[in-house]
Amino acid sequence: MPRVLLIEDDPSVREGIELGLRRRGHEVRTAATGEAGLTAIQEFRPDLLLLDLMLPGVNGVQVCRRVREGSQLPIIMLTARGDDFDVVVGLEAGADDYIVKPARTEVIEARIRAVLRRIEEPGGRPAVELHGDLAIDRAGLTVAKAGERLALAPSELKLLLYLTAAPEQVFSRQQLLEQVWEHSYHGDARLVDACVRRLRHKIEDVPGSPRYIQTLRGFGYRFGPL
Amino acid sequence: MRPRGARWRARAGLRTRLLLAFLLVAAVSAGTTATLTYRKARTAILEQAQDTAVSSFRERVSDMATPLPIEPQSLQEQLRALARQGKPHPWVVFAEYGSIRVSSGTSPVSTVITPQLRRAALANPHGGFQRVEKHGEPWLTVAVPTVFRAGKTVRPTGLVLYAVMPLSDEEANVRSMVTAARDGALPGLAVAIIPALLAARSVLRPVRDLRKASQSMGRGRLDTRIQVKGGDELADLARTFNESAIALERSVGELRDAEARARRFASDVSHELRTPLAGMLAVTEVLDEDAARLAPDTAAAVRLISAETGKLAVLVEDLMEISRFDARAAELNTDEVDVAQTIRKTLTIRRWTDPDRIVTELPDGIRARLDPRRFDIVVANLVGNALRHGGAPVTVRLRKAPEAHGEGTRLVTEVADSGPGIRPEVLPHIFDRFYKADSARTRSEGSGLGLAITLENVRLHGGTIRAANGPQGGAVFTVEIPLTGGEATGGEVRK
Amino acid sequence: MKRRGAAAARAAAACVMAVAPLTGCGVRGSDVIEAGGPATVTVFPADEQRLLLFFVSPEGRLTPVARRVGGDGSGQAVRSGQAVGPPLGDKVLAALFAGPSDGERAAGLRTRLPRPEGRPAMKWSPRDVLVHLPLAVRDLSETARRQVVCTVAYAEGGDGDAEVTLAGQDGALPPTHCDA
């Protein structure tokens, strides 16, 4: 079972979620502040971070950035619907997904599983695919550009793997939400847009005029053609 | 707003009336002045001519010497001399004595002298004159009876002298005066138009300002004020308008503040409720799982708490959503989608797939820019509502229709049920918040905000929603969203 | 609409009123207007050398004629009271009763007096004159009587204001003046 670190300042929410997840067999550690959370990451070595955005002191977005500086730890933000701006900022900071509070434990667990799930690989492919300067190792789950390894967050890696599995095929954002994030069809397309932006910063030569991940206005995204 | 034509007519009417009134006053005063002046001048001209003629004629006649009875030959000589001395114009002089008729002219008898003048001259020893029009020309005829001194008294000699002279010069003078009066009056009237226009403008400008200000107020700009100039009635009106506007702005402001406070309160309450709910909702599962192992009463209580927590969470979520609409904080994250597919997904996710309960008429290939999440809420609320309050089967129809006004097309989504329909008295309130169509119905189903949220979501798309009863009796909800609206904000795919 | 129509009519009427006096204009005819007195002319012969006889114009008005005294045998310039021949007054009366001369007739003058059978006579006193006519004075017309009265009043150097009594075969008339 995955090890989950929950950073949440409200005791009742913290306890409630911890209780719910533990009942489902997760190993849960909690922290009340951003600082305590960052320390706990070092000690606890969680598989996933549940991060409340509204924290006293070092807030959720800052925590998110610090984590992303050195790790590809999957991050799910806890947010209240309507805090739209925070969602966008959190996604830009590198969060992989978000959950709107209040949420049932089954919903939270489903998201955790979705983020942690590896994309099913089609068989009969070479271990390492070359797309232009990009070398994608589907078995090792690594991506290198011009021989240099890229640090991709889980959602970024999954999106890239999904798109490169069918180069030049157009996927609508709703399709990507369903397939990569395992959201319902009517999910928040901003997840896709934010993830694409982050990914482009890492893999494109000129993020402003992308070559690998291209936009088809009104339809969605596709990989290539190069 | 009044039609443009009527407004123009009303303004032209006021302006025209002012102009006409001005011109009328100018015309009357110019005409009266001209008439009085003309009359005075005409009288003066004629009196001058007449008096000169009469007195100088009498003077000349007084110089005469004559035997009695007169001698026609010598009298004629004298008459000719008299005629030459005529003032102000040459006279034709006639003399009448008994049956003798002598004149300075060719004809011994004048055709201009009237019998009245003759009678008057013979009856009274007084001079007299008469203006006569003959052959369209004015003449002055002067009669001077002669007397002579006899002893201590004077006696009429029986000789009457007449002078006849044309008044054509005087007539010409008078006519030129008329012409001058007319030529002066008409440019005067033309000049009067200028002050008339100025006055009309000065009257109409405040009226126009007032109209603009009223329109501006009508459009909701309650801080509209009119610049008050002067102290006339229109300035009073403007002042009154401003005072009314201030009062209106104040009371509307108070109302808005009160409403904003109430909404903020609702929003704050739901915010505050959310945090405890988040904790509670996370543990409902624990309660549900363990209820079976508890004593029956405790188990029932625990299940009740769990179920109500879930409903409370939905209610708080809906309240939050409505608050965001009220605060205009709701955003539209549009994406271009296949509408039929979107609706099918909505139905599938909620497991409304039983063909006995849900009938769909969803033509493929209709693409639209929508906020998929909000459109999902709209369809889900309508179908859910139809299933709960109407009756199966529920029909979901999708089609494109031309815009009622102007060009463009609308996306029409129709959800019809097979229930008893909506009672007429309920129809106007069907989208009201917490409105319960059936007062006996418990609040167990839905939050009471579903249709209100649906309405707001449709409006956010620039569309309309209406509820009606179909021809077969069931309720029909029709959502119309413009396909080519300018609603693309946020969430847009960038290139 | 009706009210505006009425207003327009009023305005038009006012315009007409204002402009109408200007159009009907020019010099028009008039009644006979009295202006000053008559003209006093000189009649010759002069006062002392003439006698005034009063005849009747074609219009029936008393009209004086001036005859030179002695020029045509009608009389001499003799003061009254002198008893040379028949008195001057009688000569005047005779001339009057003789009727207008040819020239005077040509001017349309006539007399209303009948030809007398005898000589008319006149008795003169400073303030009144008695004229005795050889005819029935009551039969005379008013004009005829005034012919006599005025002629007598201006005769004998009289200045016309003497009181004259006409007497005849049928008695005397009340005394009267020439200007009465």
In tens, the pLDDT along B19-65 reads 888 888 888 888 888 788 888 888 888 888 888 888 888 888 888 88
- How many residues make up chain A in this entry? 226
How do strand C163-168 and strand C128-132 relate by DSSP bridges?
parallel
Cβ of residue C43 closer than 8 Å to a chain B Cβ: yes
Q: How far is CA B188 from the centre of its chain?
A: 32
- Same-domain pairing of A175 and A94: no
Portion of chain C with pLDDT greater than 90, in percent: 2
Place of tokens 């407004």: B7
Judged by CB atoms within 8 Å, which residues 133-192 of B form the interface with C?
A: 133, 138, 142-159, 161, 167, 170-171, 174-175, 178, 181-182, 185
Contact B42 C25 (CB under 8 A): yes
Q: Which chains touch B (3 or more CB pairs under 8 A)?
A: A, C
Q: Kindly identify which residue of chain A lies nearest to residue B349, measuring between CA atoms.
A: A184
Instruction: Give me the residue from A82, A174, A219 closest to B320, CB to CB.
Output: A82
Q: According to the model, what pLDDT value does residue C84 have? A: 39
Residue among A84, A185, A214 with most chain B CBs within 10 A, to mutate: A185
Q: According to the model, what pLDDT value does residue A63 have? A: 93
- Same-domain pairing of A166 and A197: yes
Contact A217 B495 (CB under 8 A): yes
Taking the C-alpha atoms of residue B155 and residue B372, their distance in angstroms, rounded to an integer, is 132
Please say which residue of A93, A116, A139 terminates a domain.
A116
CATH number assigned to the domain comprising residue A169: 1.10.10.10
From B190's Cα to the closest Cα of chain C, the distance in A is 15
Domain tally for chain A? 2
Cβ of residue B275 closer than 8 Å to a chain A Cβ: yes
Q: In what order do the strands lie in the sheet with B409-416?
A: B358-361, B394-402, B409-416, B475-482, B464-469
Q: According to the model, what pLDDT value does residue B440 have? A: 47
- Same-domain pairing of A112 and A132: no
Residue C80 pLDDT exceeds 60: no
Among C98, C104, C141, C74, which residue's Cα sits nearest to residue B158?
C104
Q: Which two tokens stand for residue C146?
A: 């005034």
Q: According to the model, what pLDDT value does residue B334 have? A: 83
* Chains A and C are touching, with contact defined as 3 or more CB–CB pairs separated by less than 8 Å: no
Taking the C-alpha atoms of residue B159 and residue B71, their distance in angstroms, rounded to an integer, is 11
Q: Are A47 and A71 in contact (CB under 8 A)?
A: no
Q: According to the model, what pLDDT value does residue C83 have? A: 36
Contact B116 C59 (CB under 8 A): no
Residue among B152, B157, B177 with most chain C CBs within 10 A, to mutate: B157
Q: According to the model, what pLDDT value does residue B98 have? A: 87
Taking the C-alpha atoms of residue A10 and residue B276, their distance in angstroms, rounded to an integer, is 9
Contact A102 B345 (CB under 8 A): no
Contact B65 C22 (CB under 8 A): no
CB–CB contacts below 8 A, B to C: 206
Exposed / middle / buried, residue A213 (Cβ in 10 Å: 0-12, 13-18, 19+): buried
Q: Kindly identify which residue of chain B lies nearest to residue C38, measuring between CA atoms.
A: B126
Q: Kindly identify which residue of chain B lies nearest to residue C7, measuring between CA atoms.
A: B17
- Same-domain pairing of A11 and A102: yes
Contact C58 B98 (CB under 8 A): yes
Taking the C-alpha atoms of residue C132 and residue C119, their distance in angstroms, rounded to an integer, is 9
- Would you say residue A121 lies in a domain? no
Place of tokens 């039983």: B354
Instruction: Give me the residue from C17, C33, C52 closest to B130, CB to CB.
Output: C33
Contact A102 B316 (CB under 8 A): yes
Q: Are B494 and A213 in contact (CB under 8 A)?
A: no
CB-CB neighbors (< 8 A) of C35 in chain B: 50-51, 54, 126-129, 142
In tens, the pLDDT along A162-209 reads 999 899 999 998 889 988 998 877 778 889 999 999 999 999 988 888
- Give helix C88-98 / helix C142-154 axis angle, nearest 10°: 150
From B367's Cα to the closest Cα of chain C, the distance in A is 58
Positions of E strands within B106-170? 128-134, 137-150, 153-166
Please say which residue of A85, A116, A147 terminates a domain.
A116
Please say which residue of A84, A116, A148 terminates a domain.
A116
The residues, ordered by sequence, that sit 6+ positions from B98 with a Cβ below 8 Å of its Cβ are B69, B158, C57, C58, C63, C107, C108, C109
Q: According to the model, what pLDDT value does residue A154 have? A: 92
Taking the C-alpha atoms of residue A169 and residue C140, their distance in angstroms, rounded to an integer, is 157
Domain range list for chain C: 47-172
- Same-domain pairing of A99 and A158: no
CATH number assigned to the domain comprising residue A84: 3.40.50.2300
Residue among B122, B137, B148 with most chain C CBs within 10 A, to mutate: B148
CB-CB neighbors (< 8 A) of B38 in chain C: 21-22, 25
Q: How far is CA C120 from the centre of its chain?
A: 22
CB-CB neighbors (< 8 A) of B280 in chain A: 12, 16, 102
Q: According to the model, what pLDDT value does residue A223 have? A: 93
- Same-domain pairing of A42 and A112: yes
Contact C107 B70 (CB under 8 A): yes
In tens, the pLDDT along C10-37 reads 656 655 555 554 455 667 788 888 888 8
CB-CB neighbors (< 8 A) of B128 in chain C: 32-35
CB-CB neighbors (< 8 A) of B182 in chain C: 22
DSSP calls for B355-411: TTTEEEE--TT-EEEE-HHHHHHHHHHHHHHHHHHS-SPEEEEEEEEE-SSSS-EEE
Q: Which two tokens stand for residue B190?
A: 């033309």
Q: Which two tokens stand for residue C171?
A: 């008695």
Question: What domain range includes position A214?
Answer: 128-223
Question: Is-cis flag, bond preceding C86, omega within 30?
Answer: no
- pLDDT tens per residue, chain A (226 residues)? 889 999 999 899 999 999 999 999 999 999 999 999 999 999 999 999 999 988 888 888 999 999 998 888 999 999 876 666 778 888 999 999 999 888 899 999 999 999 998 766 666 667 788 888 899 988 888 899 988 899 999 999 999 999 998 999 999 988 899 889 988 777 788 899 999 999 999 999 888 889 999 998 878 999 988 8
Among C156, A20, A69, A219, which residue's Cα sits nearest to residue B286?
A20
From B495's Cα to the closest Cα of chain A, the distance in A is 6
Phi-psi region of A218 (alpha: psi -120 to 50; beta: other; left: phi over 0): left
Taking the C-alpha atoms of residue B455 and residue B453, their distance in angstroms, rounded to an integer, is 5
Q: According to the model, what pLDDT value does residue C25 have? A: 61
- Would you say residue A219 lies in a domain? yes
Cβ of residue C160 closer than 8 Å to a chain B Cβ: yes
From A89's Cα to the closest Cα of chain B, the distance in A is 14
The residues, ordered by sequence, that sit 6+ positions from C19 with a Cβ below 8 Å of its Cβ are B27, B31
- pLDDT tens per residue, chain B (495 residues)? 445 555 555 555 777 888 888 888 888 888 888 788 888 888 888 888 888 888 888 888 888 888 888 888 888 888 888 888 887 778 899 998 988 899 988 888 888 888 888 888 888 888 899 998 888 888 899 999 999 888 778 888 889 999 998 888 888 888 888 888 777 777 777 887 888 888 888 778 888 888 888 898 888 888 888 888 777 888 888 888 899 889 998 998 999 899 888 888 888 888 888 888 988 998 998 888 888 898 999 999 999 999 999 989 888 888 888 888 888 888 888 888 889 999 999 999 899 988 889 999 999 888 888 888 899 999 999 999 898 888 889 999 999 988 777 678 899 999 999 888 888 888 888 898 887 666 544 444 667 888 999 999 999 999 999 999 988 888 999 999 998 644 333 333 333
Instruction: Give me the residue from C41, C59, C104 closest to B62, CB to CB.
Output: C41
Average pLDDT in chain C: 76
- Same-domain pairing of A137 and A212: yes
Contact A82 B277 (CB under 8 A): no
Domains of chain B: 6-174 (3.30.450.20), 234-326 (1.10.287), 335-482 (3.30.565.10)
Q: Kindly identify which residue of chain C lies nearest to residue B181, measuring between CA atoms.
A: C22
Average pLDDT in chain A: 88
